[in-house]
């Protein structure tokens, strides 16, 4: 686990791109991309839903149907902020993609446009 931000004690779970890809293939993960709509449209993880941080609310995340909800952004900062919002709302979403979409792209994994 990593601690994000300076002086913060809240720990977020992370999943690496290869592990997330395997989870998606096995229908074990629902990816929620918290980047803005234009960023999402330019390229995103296949099957991801877009819920921009600017309007993010944990209550807006659709039913994951027994899948793990994994938040993603470009590099990890916005998904970490969204995880903080989930925690404050008492919602059990606590995992995001390590390195965000940038790490996903760098790993050569599929991209949907």
pLDDT tens-place string over residues 9-64: 467 999 999 999 999 999 999 999 999 999 999 999 999 999 999 999 999 998 99
Residue 7: the pLDDT is 44
Q: Is the pLDDT of residue 8 over 90?
A: no
How far from 39 is each of 13, 34, 42, 71, 94, CA to CA, in Å?
Answer: 24, 10, 5, 15, 23
Alpha helix positions (H), 43-94:
77-88
By annotation, the residues acting in catalysis are 73
Q: What fold, for 12-106?
A: Oxidized Rhodanese; domain 1 (3.40.250)
Residue 10: the pLDDT is 65
Q: Is the pLDDT of residue 108 over 80?
A: yes
Separation of alpha carbons 83 and 20, rounded Å: 17
pLDDT tens digit sequence for 68-105: 999 999 999 999 999 999 999 999 999 999 999 999 99
Domain boundaries, the chain: 12-106
pTM exceeds 0.85 = yes
């Amino acid at each position: 686990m990593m601690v994000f931000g300076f002086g913060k004690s809240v720990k977020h779970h992370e999943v690496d791109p290869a592990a997330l890809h395997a989870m998606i293939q096995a229908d074990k993960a629902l990816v929620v991309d918290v980047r803005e709509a234009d960023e999402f449209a330019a390229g995103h993880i296949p099957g991801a839903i877009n819920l921009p941080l600017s309007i993010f609310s944990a209550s807006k995340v659709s039913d994951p149907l027994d899948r793990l909800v994994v938040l993603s952004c470009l590099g990890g900062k916005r998904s970490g902020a969204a995880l903080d919002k989930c925690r404050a709302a008492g919602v059990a979403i606590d995992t995001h993609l390590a390195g965000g979409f940038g790490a996903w792209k760098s790993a050569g994994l599929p991209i949907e446009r």
